[in-house]
Structure formats: C-alpha cells, structure tokens
Amino acid sequence: MLSPTRRTFLATAARLAGAAAAAQLLSGCSDDSGQQGHGADGRRPDADQPLRIRAVAATDTLLAAYDAALAGPGSAQADRLRPLRADLVAHRAALAEGLPPATPSGSPSASVSASRPPSASRSASRPPSASRSASPAASTPAATSAPVSVAALAAAERQAAGDRLGDLLAASPELARLLAAVSASDALHAAVLGDPGPITAPKPTAATASPAAPPAPSVSGSAAPTATPSASATRTPLPGAAVTALQAALAAEHAAVYGYGVIGGHLPAGPQRDDCRASYTAHQARRDAWQRMLTTEGATPAAAAPGYQLPFAVTTPGSAGDLAVRIEAQLTGVYAELVAAATGPLRLTAAAALREAALNARHWGGTLPALPGLPPADPTPSASASTSPSASPSTSSSASSGASARTRAGATAGSSRSASPSA
C-alpha cells in the first residue's frame, strides 16, 4: 500500500479542522438556544410570579376598600373590620414572598398597626377577590378613595374568593395551597360581613376530563357543589401524590362521620341537632365519593379505624360543639394538602372542601387563622391560634395546621359505621 503523500495528509487535516469548527459552531448554537426562555442570570422565569403579582394587587385593592370603609360608613364597626383587615395584611405578606421588592409597589394601605396581629379572630373565610386581568397599576389602593359600605366590602370579599381560584390550576403546588387558603379566608370574611352567597370561580380555560366533584359538607348556609363523582372514559389518572393525599382525606372523613355521631348524641333536639345531622350526612357523602374515586384509580380505599381516642371528653352540648369545630378545622389542613398534591378539577374540589370546612368551623363557633389549613409562618402563636389536644391517628399528620383559637381542630372519632347523630 502506498503511504500517503504530503498533499493527501494536508487535505485530510483540513477536512478534520473544518469538521471540528463546524462541531464547535453547532455546539455554540445549542448553548445559545438552551438559554432561550431564561433570564439574564441563566435561570428560567418563575411561572408563579405573575400569579403572585395579580394576587398581591387584588389584595391591595381590598386593603384600600377596608381603609375607605373604616374612614366612612364602617367606622362604627371598626372592631369587626380591623381584624379582617389584619388577615389581608397576612395574605399580602404570604403572596408577596419571593417577589422583587418593587413588584408591585407597596402603599400605606398594605401596612397595619403594630397593635394588630397578622392573624385575627374571625370565622369562615372566602378566597380573595381579584380580577384575573387586573394589573398592579390598575389595582392600586389609590383607586379606592370614595366611601365604601360594609355591604360592598362583603361583596368584594366574596368576589375576591372566587377570583383567587381562577389561578389555582396554573399555580405550583405550594402556591395553589396558599391561594386556596386565601380564598377560604376571604370567604370567611364575606360570611362575617353578612354575605354568605356562593363562591364562583372563573371557568378553567382548558377542559380536563376527570371524576366530578363530590358534594361539599356545609351547614354554613353557603352554596355547596352538587355534582356527584362519576368516572369518565377519557379521564386522566391521578398522580401518585394525589392518590396518597386522597387516602388521607378519606381517612379524615371516616373520622368526621364518627365524630358527628358522637356530637349528635349530646345535642338537644332542635336546630343544632338538625345541623349536626346535615353535617353527618354530608361527610358520609364525601367519604363515599372519595371511596369511589380511589376505586376508579385502582387503589384500595382506606378503611375506617376500629376506633379513635377523642381529644377530650364530650359530655355537654358545649363540648360537642367544640368537637365539631375541631373536626372541621383539622379538615382544612387535610384539604390544603390535597390542593397541593392534586391537579385539574380535583384541585378545585379540594379547595372547595377546604373552604366549606372553614365555614363550617365558624358555624359551630370556631375561629381560624388568617390562612386556614396552613401552618403558621413562625412558631409564635397568633391571636387566633392556640395549642390543641393530640388528634386521632387518621387526621393528626395533616390537620395540625388547621388548629383554631379555641383548640378545636379535627375529629378524632372512630368507625364511620358505628355512629349516627341521633340522640
């Protein structure tokens, strides 16, 4: 075989050098294209940021409305309005976490007197209102300068509760849980201010086939979902985390059913026992709905425990009411976890369940923190939180975040098959 000539060698070397240059160019193009969609620091933009900005702007608008009401028609009800406003300040702080300091711009309305705790005593709350198309500039507190009546404030809280749910499906798990808690709190505010009307979320932009929402247990007077679960032939299987959270919700509903059976045995005949019976029936319906949904997913539904240790002795109508508050407040924590774990329509259903549990806790005389279902932002107890007795095995892991000011958080009751609310 002839050895390569010098000309052949040089030609080969040139070809190799060209190939290397082309590879380097292609590599450079790939690196450049890999940066598309990233910020100047090379990181992808936070998809939650526009949702947080919208929610903060809406909260600023509500704060301004409270200021206008306190300065005008609502001044005579200041003792009732100021704790609700303090809740909004807590909402704003949580929603603005991680946002650039100047986005959106702050205002005097976003601050609260140091004498007011971030979480105030109040009952049932509904999601904060905010137009999905609202921008920080359009929702500044300065926009509300005319006097605002308490009735208008209540309507604004109810509207805000529904609007916050409009971003639920697009939010990350953590933000979705926060939005659901804010929504529940705003719903509570609306109820406290005399507007218990239904909370209507904007319709999702994309339809997702999945089991329909089970009815929400409610004795609060607000409208609850009326659909019953049914499997769709084109449904999307639930994520594993959602199945796990759904099992926890089922276990909590088993306990709630038993708990209301205990409660009913200690209430006199009349409206309270009727409310107990309605709650008992509604929690049974939700328990059955979760069982059917889990079965559809191919999972074995969690069975009711043989029995649970009650957190305290129930011997009077008063202690029976305390247990009802404890049941519902613990359920806010359970459903906050389901909101974070679920996607699609189930996330919306879980948010509705969180809200109804908060409203029911208020109906039974309980008080809740500024963000129902969420753990406190710091270990310092707030004005509406206190230590509560240990909960039952089926509900303690996810319900501790829903503790109420009167230490009523979740039913530690037992088998859902062995009790009924009849005395």
Tens digits of per-residue pLDDT, 293-333?
999 999 999 999 988 789 999 999 999 999 999 999 999 99
Q: Which amino acid is at 64?
A: A
Q: Is the pLDDT of residue 408 over 50?
A: no
pLDDT in the model for residue 136: 40
pLDDT in the model for residue 325: 97
The helix/strand/coil state of 122 is: strand
pLDDT in the model for residue 316: 96
Percent of the chain with pLDDT over 90: 54
Tens digits of per-residue pLDDT, 262-282?
999 999 999 999 999 999 999
pLDDT band, residue 213 (cuts 50/70/90): very low
* Cis peptide, bond prior to residue 375, ω within 30 of zero: no
Q: Is the pLDDT of residue 402 over 50?
A: no
d(CA 76, CA 64) in angstroms, rounded, equals 18
pLDDT in the model for residue 284: 97
pLDDT in the model for residue 279: 96
pLDDT in the model for residue 282: 95
d(CA 335, CA 332) in angstroms, rounded, equals 5
d(CA 260, CA 283) in angstroms, rounded, equals 9
pLDDT in the model for residue 80: 94
pLDDT in the model for residue 185: 97
Least confident residue range of 44-53, 173-182, 210-219, 385-394: 385-394
Task: Note whether 356 and 277 are within 8 A (CB).
Answer: no
252 vs 248, 305, 322, 417, 421, CA distance in Å? 6, 10, 17, 14, 18
Cβ-based burial of 233 (10 A; exposed 0-12, middle 13-18, buried ≥19): exposed
- In terms of Cα–Cα distance, which of 69, 168, 97 is closest to 127? 168
The helix/strand/coil state of 4 is: coil
Q: What is the mean pLDDT of the chain?
A: 74
In this prediction the pTM is 0.71
Mean pLDDT in residue range 355-382: 85
Pull the structure tokens for residue 255: 């306990």
d(CA 5, CA 18) in angstroms, rounded, equals 20
Tens digits of per-residue pLDDT, 7-30?
444 444 445 444 444 444 334 344
pLDDT in the model for residue 132: 39
Residue 368 dihedral angles phi and psi, to the nearest 5°: -130, 160
Tens digits of per-residue pLDDT, 228-250?
444 444 567 888 999 999 999 99
Pull the structure tokens for residue 337: 């976890």
3 vs 7, 8, 13, 233, CA distance in Å? 11, 10, 16, 72
Please give the domain boundaries of the chain with CATH numbers for all domains.
Answer: 49-111+119-192 (no CATH), 240-402 (1.20.1260.10)
Tens digits of per-residue pLDDT, 150-191?
999 999 999 999 999 999 999 999 999 999 999 999 999 999
Angle between helices 150-165 and 344-363 in degrees, nearest 10: 150
> Which range has the top average pLDDT, 18-27, 202-211, 303-312, 389-398?
303-312
pLDDT in the model for residue 73: 87
Q: Is the pLDDT of residue 411 over 50?
A: no
- In terms of Cα–Cα distance, which of 371, 362, 355 is closest to 90? 371
